[in-house]
Structure 1
Amino acid sequence: MAAQSKRVPLPAILLANDLLDGDVVFAAADGAGVLAWTRDPAQSLVASDEGAADRLEAFAAAELRGNKVVDAYLAGVIIESGSPVPRHFRERFKTLGPSNRPDLGKQAGEGVASAPKG
């Protein structure tokens, strides 16, 4: 998949929208390394090399075919205080929740709260 499309700079995370409720979800791995979706951006699996990015893209393709998610893509991140923070505004915005209700969504709890520096 990487040879066919331009990949974002690594490290990166995989995010998508849940097909049933539209919420933003992030690819994560359990203790056994099995990929699944989480709504917590801090639990995102970070791809630091091409092999890990390929694995995330293969997971995204399977989940798209299975009608679990839509709009799955890799997003470049930086690591701040041990957590991945998206490099670009669009993804930072998606990790927070609805902008018209700061009391709802991830911004009301422990979602990504700061923009990366630099």
Structure 2
Amino acid sequence: MKILTANRLTDGIAVWYADGGWAETVDHADLAHDKAAEDRLEAIGAKAYAANEVVDVNLIDADVVNGVVEPVRLREKIRAAGPTIRNDLGKQAGKQSTWAA
């Protein structure tokens, strides 16, 4: 499965495409289960990039764990959670992190 991620141009925050817009959390990102869905997400990302909404648009591997979307690679898990040295900062500060570094 793949999900679409980028960085919001206005503030650099990592975002994921979910429910027709860019969400600051990965939990409910739209999943692409096949090539057609991947192509659709890539087209959405290209359009948002062209409109100067986001930069560094990428499809990344993801899994669903306990009903929640999670990135597969460690780099993407860090982007989703926040700094690895302080759990009281970043996105992980607002919720319990579901992965261990």
TM over 0.5, shorter chain: yes
Whole-Å Cα distance in 1 between the matches of residues 96 and 30 of structure 2? Answer: 15
Which residue matches 1:74?
Answer: 59
**Same amino acid, percent of matched pairs:** 39
For each residue in 1:47-88, what CA deviation from the matched residue of structure 2 results, as whole angstroms up to 9, or x when unmatched?
Answer: 111111111000000011111001010110111101111111
Which residue matches 2:3?
Answer: 13
- Name stretches of at least 5 consecutive residues in structure 2 with no aligned partner: none
Whole-Å Cα distance in 1 between the matches of residues 96 and 76 of structure 2? Answer: 12
Kindly tell me: are residues 112 and 103 of structure 1, through their superposed partners in 2, closer, same or farther at Cα, counting changes over 3 Å? closer
Whole-Å Cα distance in 1 between the matches of residues 96 and 81 of structure 2? Answer: 6
Whole-Å Cα distance in 2 between the matches of residues 114 and 74 of structure 1? Answer: 21
Whole-Å Cα distance in 2 between the matches of residues 60 and 76 of structure 1? Answer: 16
Out of 24, 41, 44, the position equivalent to 1:39 is 24
Misfit runs of 4+, over 3 Å:
none
Out of 86, 91, 98, the position equivalent to 2:71 is 86
> Matched residue of 1:41: which SS?
coil
Which residue matches 2:15?
Answer: 25
1:59 paired with 2:44, answer yes
| TM-score after normalising by structure 1 | 0.78
The Cα shift of 1:104 comes to 1.9
The Cα shift of 1:99 comes to 3.2
Length, aligned pairs only? 100
> Matched residue of 2:45: which SS?
helix
Work out whether residues 18 and 25 of structure 1, in 8 Å CA contact, stay in contact via their aligned partners in 2. yes
